[in-house]
Amino acid sequence: MAVMAGPTYDRMAPFYERLTNAYSLGCIPRARQEQLTRILPGMRVLYVGIGPGSDALAAAERGASVAGVDLSTKMVEIASRRFAAAGQVADLQAVDLFAYEPDDPYDAVVANFLLDCFDDGARPRVIERMWGFLRQGGTMLITDTGKPHGSFPARACWRIYHGVAFTTTWIQGITPWLPIMDLANDLVNAGFRVDDHLFHRPTRRGPVLFESVVGVKP
């Protein structure tokens, strides 16, 4: 389970996004841009583990009706300030995803870099919970670190690169030890149909470092 995720992410909140964007060598901003093409005006979209919320704000600016939850009150404060500064409205709540009870199901649920906060035992319960937030036919959008792909050097790059980051977050108690996640398989096991699976590399021929998966709730 995520241990102390709220307080630790509170401390990271002010610099979290700048740090991860830079560390991802451009992969995360590009993944967010691609993901945004799935968000259409008028859609009701829930961001789970919203963090500072730049992706959620971009969705609102595209005309989506945005809600967001996060265990970290500081993350929600930062996201709320950003929405206010941009003149956008959203329903943002500092609440554990396991305690959140939406009034109505959503058209899309987005979980970016949330699943890596949970170990193999807890992840299926998180996905099951997000399944419950979606209407039938709704879309589950996930971007995360995924698993190593490709040749031996490419897989070694994944392990070294994410090993550095996850050692830091593991010491802080907010992620398990180097989670290796088969995101598409996790969605299929939860009952989703996988509609798209994208791989993000720092350069055209570089190793896959991040993945995005799109699931549809049949």
Ligand X SMILES: C[S@@+](CC[C@H](N)C(=O)[O-])C[C@H]1O[C@@H](n2cnc3c(N)ncnc32)[C@H](O)[C@@H]1O
Residues contacting ligand X: total by CB under 6 A: 19
CA-CA distance, 67 to 53, in Å (whole number)? 10
Query: Which among 214, 6, 14, 217 has a CA at the least distance from the CA of 111?
Result: 214
> Judged by CB under 6 A, which of 24, 35, 112, 212 binds ligand X?
112
Site for ligand X contains 46 (CB under 6 A): no
CA-CA distance, 171 to 176, in Å (whole number)? 9
| Greatest extent of the chain over all pairs of C-alpha atoms, in Å | 48
Residues 152-211 contacting ligand X, CB under 6 A: none
**Number of neighbouring beta carbons within 10 Å of residue 190:** 19
Site for ligand X contains 51 (CB under 6 A): yes
**Which pair of tokens denotes residue 75?**
């993350």
Residues 117-136 contacting ligand X, CB under 6 A: 117
Site for ligand X contains 75 (CB under 6 A): yes
Q: Smaller CB distance to ligand X: residue 75 or 109?
A: 75
Residues of the shown chain interacting with ligand X in the complex, contacts defined by CB under 6 A: 2, 5-6, 9, 17, 49-51, 69-72, 75, 96-97, 112-114, 117
